[in-house]
Amino acid sequence: MNPLRSLYNNVYFNALRNIRALLDLDQKKRAVPMIVLLFLNAFLDLLGLFTIGVLIQSALQGDAITGEVYTPDMATSEGEFWFISGLRWMYRELGFVNEMQLLFFLSFAIFIVFIAKNIGALFISYLQARYSYNIALRLSMKMFQYYYDRGYLFISNANSSSRLNAISSIPAAFSGTYLMNVFAFSTDLVILIFIGVGLFSVDPLAVLLITVAVVPTFLAIYQFSKNRAKKMGVVRNQNTVEGYALIQEGMQAYTDIKLSNKEQVIMDKYEHNRRVYNHAEVLFQGVISKINKRTNDIVFGLGILVIFGYAWYGNIPKEPILTLLGLFAVAAYKVLPAVNNMVNAILMVKNMDYVITELAPIANFKLHAFKEYPRLPFREKISLRDIHFHYPDHDEPVLQGIDLDLHKGETLGIIGGSGSGKTTLLKLFLRLIEENQGNVRVDDTLLDNKADNASFQKIIGYVEQQVFILDGTLRENIAFLEETSDDARLWKVIDDALLRDFVESHPDGLSMRLGENGVKLSGGQKQRVGIARALYKQSEILVLDEITSALDPKTEKGIVEVINHLSDLGKTILIVAHRVTTLERCDRIIEMEKGKVKREVGYGELVREVMG
């Protein structure tokens, strides 16, 4: 195996490549000053180490600083001569009266340096974190937009907890943990290189001894921990998604769970999920990420053992051994924590390996602004011709040879049993999915591209069985996602949806809060709010999807009154319904069966069949 290739193909370099693949060009450019700051941060750390070394060396010189005479031949090296000469100059020029006064001054200066360097290091840490979390924001936006760009089928097939995790948690984990630990590893790597070069220039033997004492121990720890760290990260991610799902199920299905007396079942499932998650976290946070720090004393003791073993075996005099021991102690003060941090950082990167897998789909994804499309003119009719459709994961056709027209001002009903294809036909009509064969036209415009589909969707108002209600006010729900609302238009659609009595009877009026998922509304009120929302966007076509199927007869009658009122206003309406009574004002009703239009039938004939 090529050793250079092995060196390049490791966790650290793989992490750098992963980060590079996920960054946009502007973020890569902003990474350059981050690298400069990384070196500056390492320099500040080394500055603290250097000042301690200066203080120790100053304390060891004693008479050489305060004595009357000091010549080059009294120094062991040229560097030592200039160092002591500088201290002698400071001693004389600043008027110190004894050695201890000089050392106090130096220790005070070092104290100021430590304060300054740590303020600087904190500021650098802030800049790195800000850069990192700006990346998290963009990755989160990319993931959100990626889901939208993949379309209705992709979103509807994805687990909601997985979506939540992928869009929100994964980008934050990448930036807050993965990227920040790469920053930390890089900083400590630079520190070690600087210390190694500095020590080697002073005493190569010290570098050798530190290497012999430190490297094998921490390599053994890393080899023991790396696969376990990765496995625990995968367990954490899986159980995070499952935990989200259990919470959502527990809240959304509260009524069913309560009425079935299954509270303990959901609690037991959640407890098991958290226990598995916590077990992985305990092993990682309590053992794997701490084991390297707990070996500091062992490594330090091993280094001392090696030094005195070397002195004994080589019959080395006491003075150079004590100097070597001092160098080892000073270096170990910074080297051991740096190596600790590096091992911990790289294990955390391994632990977070799953975020790279989760973010892989957006590695080359570019954020884009969603275009504002004009409304498509609608004058006469919408035509579906020879429509065939099957879902991507099924070969069996759901729609087969559908021919259908919806004329302007017409109310068209669609009925059919379960599996007849009416829901799929509705999604296709809404252009949430597209036909595999055939075509859809609005007058002379062929809907065969994104722009025309979007323009057509702007003239459609869609109301489904379970109307989505924002956790906000009535005004916010009708003027859906509009920054400002038009009161005149609001009251017009409230009248058309027969909601005025309800609104005026409430003390907060349009400002009434509807609660999450409309918990403060009845089923019929939710449907009216949905209809008002569809009308507020000035829809030319209303699509009503099973809007009365979950309502009691009295409430259904009220919704039918709204539909009849809208028919009287000349709206073009497409109704999918199970209940025949909902189709009272339909001009035509088609019945579907096995993906085909079985027949066209009148309301009277349909009622007679049901009654008979």
Confidence of residue 226 (pLDDT cuts 50, 70, 90): low
pLDDT tens profile 522-578: 888 888 888 888 888 888 899 988 887 777 778 778 888 888 888 888 889 998 888
Q: How confident is the model at residue 612 (pLDDT cuts 50, 70, 90)?
A: low
Query: What local confidence, expressed as pLDDT, does residue 292 receive?
Result: 61
What is the arithmetic mean of pLDDT over 197-213? 69
> What is the total residue count of the chain?
612
CB atoms within 10 A of CB 37: 20
**DSSP letters along 571-596, please?**
-EEEEE-S-GGGGTT-SEEEEEETTE
pLDDT band at 60 (very low <50, low <70, confident <90, very high): low
Region 66-93: what's the mean pLDDT?
66
Ranges of CATH 1.20.1560.10 domains, the chain: 3-362
Task: List the structure tokens of 31.
Answer: 């990474």
Residue type, 167: I
Mean pLDDT of the chain: 80
Query: How much is the pLDDT for 192?
Result: 79
Please say whether the beta carbons of 288 and 347 come within 8 A: yes
Q: What is the mean pLDDT of residues 5-26?
A: 80
Question: Please, which pLDDT band fits residue 259 given cuts at 50, 70 and 90?
Answer: low
The proportion of the chain whose per-residue pLDDT surpasses 70, expressed as a percent, equals 81
Q: Reply yes or no on whether the pLDDT at 600 is more than 60.
A: yes
161, 251 in Cβ contact below 8 A?
no
The residue among 15, 359, 354 whose CA lies nearest residue 166 is 359
Query: Given 1.20.1560.10, 3.40.50.12780, 3.50.50.60, 3.30.465.10, which CATH number is that of 3-362?
Result: 1.20.1560.10
Note the Cα 4 to chain centre separation in Å: 35
At 1 the pLDDT is: 46
Query: pLDDT higher for 390 or 313?
Result: 390
Strand partners, 600: 590
H/E element, 406: strand 399-407
Contact between 571 and 542 (Cβ < 8 Å): yes
For residue 446, the model assigns a pLDDT of 92
pLDDT mean over 436-452: 91
Q: Give the distance from CA 375 to its chain's centroid.
A: 34
Residue 141: count of CB within 10 angstroms of its CB: 14
Predicted confidence at residue 2, as pLDDT, reads 52
Average pLDDT over residues 447-460: 90
Specify the higher pLDDT residue, 209 or 340: 340
Residue 596 has pLDDT above 70, yes or no: yes
- Check residue 64 and give its pLDDT: 64
Least trusted range by pLDDT, from 224-228, 269-273, 335-339 = 224-228
Residues near 451 by beta carbon (within 8 Å), at least 6 away in sequence: 371, 373
The residue-averaged pLDDT of 431-439 equals 91
Task: Tell me: pLDDT of 150 over 60.
Answer: yes
Sheet strands side by side (includes 541-545): 460-463, 541-545, 572-576, 411-416, 588-593, 596-601
**DSSP character string of 93-108:** HTT--SHHHHHHHHHH
Strands 445-446 and 437-442: antiparallel
Sign of CA dihedral 257, 261, 266, 267: positive
Backbone angles phi, psi at 216, to 5 degrees: -60, -40
CATH homologous superfamily for the domain 406-435+447-611: P-loop containing nucleotide triphosphate hydrolases (3.40.50.300)
CA distance 507 to 484: 22
User: Span 244-255, mean pLDDT?
Assistant: 70
Mean pLDDT over residues 321-330, rounded? 70
The alpha carbon of 596 is separated from its chain's Cα centroid by a whole number of angstroms, namely 43
pLDDT given at position 213: 66
Question: In the structure encoding, which two tokens stand for residue 474, read together?
Answer: 């009535």
Structure tokens at 166: 């992928």
Q: Cα 252 vs. chain centroid, distance in angstroms?
A: 24
pLDDT band for position 162 (cuts 50, 70, 90): confident
User: Boundaries of CATH 3.40.50.300 in the chain?
Assistant: 406-435+447-611
**For residue 7, pLDDT beyond 60:** no
% of the chain surpassing 90 pLDDT: 10
